[in-house]
Structure formats: C-alpha cells, structure tokens
C-alpha cells in the first residue's frame, strides 16, 4: 500500500528507539522506501546497523558525514522525502524544533523540510504534561506539524500513564491513510453542528443574566471538525473571538434563540456538539425600559429555559449527540448521570475549578465518557489540540460501530 513512497524516519534518544526499528520493518513491508537519520543519543540505545538492515539504506548520523559529495546530505534528504516522521520524539527535540534550533543532523534537516512532518512523542508522563513541553507541542501544531499522540500504559521509568510511543502497526496504518488508502478526514461529508459561548437573558435593555463562558472550547471544536472534513455550522452566543475559517456561523443571544437555530439544522445533522453554556433560568418578565433603582431589596422572578440538550436527546433519530458538562464537584458522576438522562452518545466533563482548565482558559482538563462504556481522561492541554483529539476519537468510535 506504500509502494514508491519515500519516508524519512528521524530517530531521537529514548528507550522507545527499539520500536522505531520495528516501525522501519513495518513501513518497508508495506512497500515504502525508508531512510533513517539518528541523533547521537539514539545511537546509545540502538546501533545504526539495525536500521540499515531493516531499511536496506544507509543510515545518517552526522551532519558533516557527506556520503555523496554531489549533494548536501541534510538538504538532499529533506527534499527526497514524501513524509518525515520523528519517532520517538523526545522533549528535547520537540523543544529544539519549536524554537528553530538546528544543531545536529536531525534538527538541521527538519528545518530544511518542505514535506509534511509527523511527530510521535515518547517520554515520561510528567515530562509530557510539563507546561514547557505542552507549549512547544502547541506551537508546532500551530506551525502545521502533525502529532501522533502517545498511548497510555506502563512506562520504562516505572510510571503508568501517557507517554508510550504509539505502536508501529498503528503508525503504519496512519501513513497508509495519509497516502490515500483511506481518507484521513473521518468527518468528510458529515454535517456537524457546534454550539458555543454563553447565552444572554435580558432583564431590561441594560442588564442581563449570563455566565463566564468564553466560547473558546466550542470554537476549537468547530475548527477541529472542519479540519476533519466536516461541513460545520457554528451557533454562537455573544463572545469576543474571531470565528474559525471554513465554518458557517450563526450568532444568537438567548437560550430560546439558540434552541431555534439548532433545531433548524438538527434534522440534517450527523453530529451535534453542544458545548455552549446555556442559561438554566431567565427573567420571567423582561422590562421594556431600564429598571430604576429603589430603596431596599428587590426580587427578580426567574423561570426555567428549555433544556436544549434534553430536547435534542428526545428528538434524536440518527444524530451522534455530544454534550459538555461544566461542574465544580463530582464532575464524572454528574456527567454519567447526564449521559443517561439526556440520551447522549458522549459527554465531555470538566471541573471548572481545576487550575488547568475552565472558563476563559486556553487549556482544559476533561474526561470523555461514552454510552459504550468508554471513559478517558485527557491531561491539561491547549483547547484546540484537545478538540482535535476528542473529535478524532469520537469519529473513530463511530466508524467502528458502523
């Protein structure tokens, strides 16, 4: 499936280097022409000869070791590749690349590369969750690099957590999809509705009831859905964010307006991501003029708004319904209750008191719960990256079910 495809594997120093040898084997068996570049640290774990045997190509280790005097090796390799994979990628090489540092063969050719670059991190779970590493990953993601997320499990350091290099079979599968065996946009041709931001319930022309939602997570979900191939309708409450490119946006103010907008598209939707923080109550009567200040206390009578998520659950036919639950305590327990009571397929739960996420933050910490029993907690990460991971997992599960 990879016949005539040229793949350059950059191997950096970590115990997961042994998996890189297996990756070369898998890619070669699939028909790819694989060349390997190793850092000095990588050679402490595995000798270049192992990669040479598996790839049937020379292995490159030194910027100044020019095997062909007619070309400059790191430029020639960068131009040669159809795809470059950094696996395993250490925190060190991720940091160097994010900051434009080129001090060895691997980092030099990566800065010269014009073909797609995929990065497969592998490190201790605490290193992977360190703010500096997360910032570097976020910067590279925004620069167009694609990340192959590490899996969870027992790590060489003795910890159990996220940090294991993705399995060679899975990476080979992703490469096959990239080169056209399957479309790598699992939501291609699907219509996705995303609600985002707060709603605003007017008391009078100058006062209202609302909440602290910034809309950042919802906008990130809309952007991620579009990147995965979907036709996206973003229904947004009042926020101070520029809409993502490639989505159709509808602006609303109140819970009632948001319900009407969602229902107008609901019948033709494949996925609905209800991430808006909709007001549970509104003033029973909105005053047409500004309420004048009076002596003493005042009582504002409230009435319930329509529960949008519950309404969608009751009317669901074929749609995949994804809810969000912002909680301040017992978040997972409350999330599971809402998953059942509102007939959802998935619910994304976050504790807004967690310092790693919450309203207005650029990062989030969530647990994804599915009606199929899936329960996965995502560590603190930038919301755009998190949105992509959430939707990719949900889309994959949907494909498995079909």
Q: What is the pLDDT of residue 55?
A: 94
Residue 295 counted as domain residue: no
For residue 355, name the pLDDT band (cuts at 50, 70, 90): low
Same domain, yes or no, for 228 and 376?
yes
Same domain, yes or no, for 201 and 319?
yes
Q: Which residue has the higher pLDDT, 272 or 354?
A: 272
Same domain, yes or no, for 174 and 199?
no
Q: Considering 143, 178, 213, which residue would you say is the last residue of a domain?
A: 178
Residue 357 has pLDDT above 70, yes or no: no
Residue 277 per-residue DSSP state = B
Same domain, yes or no, for 228 and 344?
yes
Return the minimum-mean-pLDDT range out of 45-59, 125-139, 178-192, 224-238. Answer: 178-192
- Whether residue 250 contacts residue 261, with contact meaning beta carbons closer than 8 Å, is answered with yes
Q: Starting at the edge strand that comes first in sequence, how are the strands of the sheet with 59-60 ordered?
A: 59-60, 33-38, 6-11, 83-89, 117-121, 146-147
Return the minimum-mean-pLDDT range out of 72-76, 124-128, 180-184, 317-321. Answer: 180-184
Same domain, yes or no, for 143 and 278?
no
Same domain, yes or no, for 169 and 196?
no
Q: What is the pLDDT of residue 182?
A: 46
Residue 252 counted as domain residue: yes
Residue 13: how many CA atoms within 13 Å on its side-chain side?
Answer: 11
Q: Which residue has the higher pLDDT, 285 or 306?
A: 306
Q: Considering 131, 157, 178, which residue would you say is the last residue of a domain?
A: 178
Same domain, yes or no, for 173 and 206?
no
Residue 268, domain extent? 191-282+302-401
- The CATH number of residue 243's host domain is 3.40.50.10300
Q: What is the pLDDT of residue 319?
A: 96
**Alpha-carbon span 349 to 355, nearest angstrom:** 15
pTM of the model: 0.58
Task: Write the pLDDT tens digit of every residue in 238-262.
Answer: 998 888 877 889 999 999 999 999 9
Report residue 153 CA to chain centroid gap.
Answer: 20
Residue holding tokens 């898998």?
A: 26
Q: Which residues does the annotation mark as catalytic?
A: 157
**Alpha-carbon span 348 to 377, nearest angstrom:** 10
Same domain, yes or no, for 229 and 153?
no
CA angle 171, 173, 175 (to 5 degrees): 70
């Amino acid at each position: 499936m990879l016949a005539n495809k040229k793949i350059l594997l950059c191997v950096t120093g970590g115990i997961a280097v042994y998996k890189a040898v297996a990756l070369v084997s898998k890619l070669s068996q699939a028909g790819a022409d694989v060349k390997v570049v190793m850092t000095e640290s990588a050679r402490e774990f595995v000798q270049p000869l192992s990669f040479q045997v598996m790839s049937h190509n020379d292995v490159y280790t030194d910027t100044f070791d020019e095997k062909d005097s007619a070309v400059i090796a790191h430029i020639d390799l960068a131009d040669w590749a159809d795809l470059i994979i950094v696996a395993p990628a250490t925190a060190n090489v991720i940091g160097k690349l994010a900051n434009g540092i080129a001090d060895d063969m691997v980092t030099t050719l990566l800065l010269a590369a014009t073909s797609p670059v995929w990065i497969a991190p592998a490190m201790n779970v605490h290193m992977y969750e360190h703010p500096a590493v997360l910032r570097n990953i976020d910067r590279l993601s925004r620069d167009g690099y694609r990340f192959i997320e590490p899996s969870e499990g027992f790590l060489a350091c003795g910890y159990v957590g996220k940090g294991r290099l993705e399995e060679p079979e899975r990476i080979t599968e992703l490469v096959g999809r990239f080169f056209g065996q399957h479309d790598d946009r699992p939501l291609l041709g699907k219509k996705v509705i995303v609600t985002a931001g707060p709603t605003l319930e007017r008391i009078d022309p100058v006062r209202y009831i609302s909440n602290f939602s910034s809309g950042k997570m919802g906008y990130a979900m809309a952007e991620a859905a579009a990147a995965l191939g979907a036709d996206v309708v973003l229904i947004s409450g009042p926020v101070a964010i520029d809409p993502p490119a490639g989505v159709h946006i509808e602006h609303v103010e109140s819970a009632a307006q948001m319900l009407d907008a969602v229902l107008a598209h609901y019948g033709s939707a494949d996925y609905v991501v209800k991430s808006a923080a909709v007001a549970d109550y509104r003033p029973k009567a909105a005053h047409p003029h500004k309420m004048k200040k009076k002596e003493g206390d005042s009582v504002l009578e409230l009435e319930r708004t329509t529960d949008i998520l519950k309404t969608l659950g009751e009317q669901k036919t074929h749609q995949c319904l994804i809810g969000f639950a912002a909680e301040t305590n017992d978040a997972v327990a409350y999330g599971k209750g809402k998953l059942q009571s509102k007939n959802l397929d998935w619910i994304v739960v976050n504790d807004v008191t967690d310092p790693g996420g919450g309203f207005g933050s650029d990062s989030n910490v969530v647990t994804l719960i599915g009606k199929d029993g899936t329960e996965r907690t995502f560590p603190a990460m930038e919301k755009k990256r998190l949105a992509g991971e959430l939707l990719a997992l949900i889309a994959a599960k949907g494909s498995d079910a079909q």
